[in-house]
C-alpha cells in the first residue's frame, strides 16, 4: 500500500485527474492515499497546519457520486484531485492564521483562488504552514512549529510557502497553493526541487483581499512539473473587479501554449545578485552555467549579460511594511502577534499609507527600467537563491534585524521581480554535493509567462527532474 500511495501522489495532478476521469482510481482512493502519507510522514516534516480529513473524504465521495450519476458529463480539469492551500488563503469553515496565533474565528467563504480550485473539481485536503504573515524565507512559526526540508529534515525548505513546498516534494499531495511577495514560491521551490512560477502581478485573484502586500504579492501553485503548473494556471488565472491589479489576459490556454515550441530565444544569463553585498554559492553558479549549456544545445542564443539592476530597497520596504501592517490590523488578537512581527509594525510607522503609495509608484518606474533589459533579450537566467538551504532554526531567538540579515541571501535574486511585477520561475537544476536540490531562475518580460513556461518545459524534457524523490522517514 505504501508503494501504491507513493506512486499515486508523485504522479502529479494532471495524471491524477486523468486517472479519475478514466476510472482507474476514485477520488476517495486518491484522498485516502494522501491522508495515509500525511499521517505517516508529516509529523516529522511539519507541512500541514491543519488536515481536513473528514471534509476531504466527504468532498471526494460527493465527486465520485456525481461521476456515477452523470458518467458522460464533462468533469473539471482537477476533478477529484486533493490539493493543499497555504494558510494565508481563506478556506470556508477554517481559521486563516497567517502563520500565527492572532486569529481564531473560521472564515465564512473561500478565497477566490480556492473557489476556482473547487470549481475545477479539486478537493482541499488541508492548510499548510508558513511564517507569520509570510515575512521570512524560512517556514518557522512560534505557534505552528517548523517545516523541514524532505531532502534533509535538518534543513529549511525555504519560505514563506515552505509548508506547501514540503507537502508536494514529499508526495503528500500532487500540488499546493502558495503566495509570493518576495520570492515565497520560488525560494521553497528551489530548496525542495519543485517548479514554482511567480506569475505576472494581477494574474491570479487575491480576493477577498484587494491585494497581497500591495503590488508585491501574487498567488500561485508549487508543482512537480511544468505541465502541472500550466494546468493549475488555466484554472487560477483571472481576477475580479475587487482586485486592485489585473494582468493583461493570456490569449491562449496555458497547457495549450506548451504545445508550441518557443523557437530560438535570446537568453541572457548572470550570477550578479540584485542585492549588493551578497555572493552566490559556487554550486548555484555552476548550476546556472550547466543550464546555459543545456539551453545552447536546445538552440537558444544564450549570452552572458551584466544587468544594471535598479535599487528596489525603498519600494520593497514600504510595501513589505505596509502589507504586514494591513494584515495585522485585520487579525482578532494583535496582542498575540510574534515579537518579530511587532518589531516590523514598529518599523512600519516610518511608512504611512502615503509612503506605501509612493513606493508602489516608484516600483512602476523601476519596472520600466527593468523592461529595458528585455529589449536585447527575451528571458533572463540567474540563480534563485544565493545560499544553500540553512539548518532549521534560522529564526530561533532572532530579532527583526537578525532575521532580515539572514533573509538577504535568500531573496537576493527574487525580490526585485516582485517590485517590478515581472513573471519569474524557479526551475530544478539537479542536486548539490549536500544532496539538496539546485535550481535556476527564469525571468520573463511583463505578461510573458508563456515564454518562461515553454523554456522551462524544454529544460524539463532535456533533463527530467521528477523521477528523483526524497527518502522519507516516518516519525
Catalytic residue among 184, 270, 426, 451: 184
468 lies in some domain:
no
In the residue annotation, 160 being an active-site residue is answered as yes
pTM above 0.95, yes or no: yes
For the stretch 105-147, pLDDT in tens is 999 999 999 999 999 999 999 999 999 999 999 999 999 999 9
Q: What are φ and ψ of residue 196, in 5° steps? A: -140, 110
> If 0-12 CB within 10 Å is exposed, 13-18 middle and 19+ buried, where does residue 430 land?
middle
158 lies in some domain:
yes
In the residue annotation, 184 being an active-site residue is answered as yes
388 lies in some domain:
yes
Catalytic residue among 19, 111, 141, 160: 160
Edge to edge, what strands does the sheet with 379-383 contain?
Answer: 48-51, 123-128, 82-86, 175-180, 218-223, 195-198, 424-431, 437-444, 379-383, 266-269, 301-304
472 lies in some domain:
no
Containing structural domain, residue 225? 2-462
Domain count across the chain: 1
For the stretch 443-459, pLDDT in tens is 999 999 999 999 999 99
Nearest to 171 by CA among 56, 28, 35: 35
pLDDT reading at 2 higher than 80: no
Catalytic residue among 19, 86, 111, 407: 86
pLDDT reading at 72 higher than 90: no
467 lies in some domain:
no
In the residue annotation, 354 being an active-site residue is answered as no
233 lies in some domain:
yes
470 lies in some domain:
no
pLDDT reading at 92 higher than 80: yes
CATH classification of the domain holding 72 = 3.90.1300.10
347 lies in some domain:
yes
Amino acid at each position: 500500500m505504501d508503494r501504491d500511495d507513493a506512486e499515486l501522489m508523485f504522479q502529479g495532478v494532471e495524471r491524477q485527474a486523468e486517472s479519475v476521469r478514466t476510472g482507474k482510481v476514485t477520488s476517495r482512493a486518491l484522498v485516502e492515499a494522501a491522508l495515509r502519507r500525511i499521517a505517516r510522514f508529516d509529523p516529522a516534516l511539519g507541512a500541514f497546519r491543519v488536515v481536513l480529513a473528514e471534509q476531504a473524504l466527504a468532498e471526494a465521495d460527493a465527486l465520485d457520486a456525481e461521476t456515477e450519476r452523470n458518467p458522460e458529463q464533462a468533469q473539471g480539469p482537477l476533478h477529484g484531485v486533493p490539493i493543499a492551500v497555504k494558510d494565508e488563503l481563506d478556506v470556508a469553515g477554517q481559521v486563516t492564521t497567517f502563520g500565527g496565533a492572532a486569529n481564531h474565528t473560521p472564515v465564512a467563504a473561500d478565497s477566490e483562488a480556492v473557489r476556482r480550485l473547487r470549481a475545477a473539481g479539486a478537493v482541499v485536503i488541508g492548510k499548510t504552514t508558513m511564517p507569520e504573515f509570510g515575512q521570512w524565507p524560512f517556514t518557522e512559526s512560534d505557534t505552528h512549529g517548523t517545516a523541514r526540508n524532505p531532502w534533509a529534515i535538518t534543513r529549511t525548505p525555504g519560505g514563506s510557502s515552505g509548508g506547501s513546498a514540503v507537502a508536494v516534494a514529499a508526495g503528500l499531495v500532487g500540488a499546493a497553493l502558495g503566495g509570493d511577495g518576495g520570492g515565497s514560491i520560488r525560494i521553497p521551490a528551489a530548496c525542495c526541487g519543485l517548479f514554482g512560477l511567480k506569475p505576472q502581478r494581477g494574474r491570479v485573484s487575491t480576493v477577498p483581499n484587494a491585494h497581497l502586500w500591495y503590488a508585491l504579492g501574487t498567488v500561485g501553485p508549487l508543482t512537480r512539473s511544468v505541465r502541472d503548473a500550466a494546468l493549475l494556471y488555466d484554472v487560477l488565472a483571472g481576477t475580479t473587479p475587487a482586485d486592485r491589479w489585473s494582468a493583461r489576459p493570456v490569449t491562449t490556454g496555458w497547457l495549450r501554449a506548451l504545445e508550441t515550441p518557443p523557437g530560438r530565444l535570446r537568453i541572457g544569463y548572470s550570477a550578479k545578485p540584485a542585492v549588493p553585498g551578497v555572493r552566490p554559492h559556487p554550486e548555484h553558479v555552476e548550476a546556472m552555467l550547466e543550464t546555459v549549456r543545456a539551453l545552447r544545445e536546445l538552440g537558444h542564443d544564450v549570452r552572458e549579460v551584466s544587468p544594471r539592476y535598479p535599487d528596489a530597497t525603498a519600494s520593497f520596504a514600504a510595501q513589505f511594511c505596509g502589507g504586514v501592517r494591513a494584515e495585522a490590523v485585520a487579525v482578532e488578537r494583535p496582542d498575540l502577534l510574534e515579537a518579530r512581527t511587532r518589531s516590523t509594525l514598529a518599523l512600519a510607522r516610518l511608512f504611512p499609507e502615503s509612503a506605501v503609495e509612493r513606493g508602489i509608484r516608484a516600483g512602476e518606474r523601476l519596472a520600466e527600467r527593468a523592461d529595458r533589459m528585455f529589449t536585447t533579450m527575451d528571458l533572463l537566467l540567474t540563480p534563485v537563491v544565493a545560499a544553500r538551504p540553512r539548518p532549521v532554526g534560522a529564526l530561533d531567538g532572532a530579532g527583526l534585524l537578525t532575521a532580515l540579515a539572514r533573509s538577504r541571501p535568500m531573496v537576493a535574486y527574487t525580490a526585485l521581480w516582485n517590485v517590478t511585477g515581472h513573471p519569474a520561475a524557479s526551475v530544478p537544476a539537479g542536486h548539490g554535493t549536500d544532496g539538496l536540490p539546485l535550481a535556476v531562475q527564469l525571468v520573463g518580460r511583463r505578461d510573458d509567462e508563456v515564454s518562461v513556461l515553454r523554456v522551462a518545459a524544454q529544460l524539463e524534457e532535456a533533463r527530467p527532474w521528477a523521477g528523483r524523490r526524497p527518502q522519507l522517514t516516518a516519525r
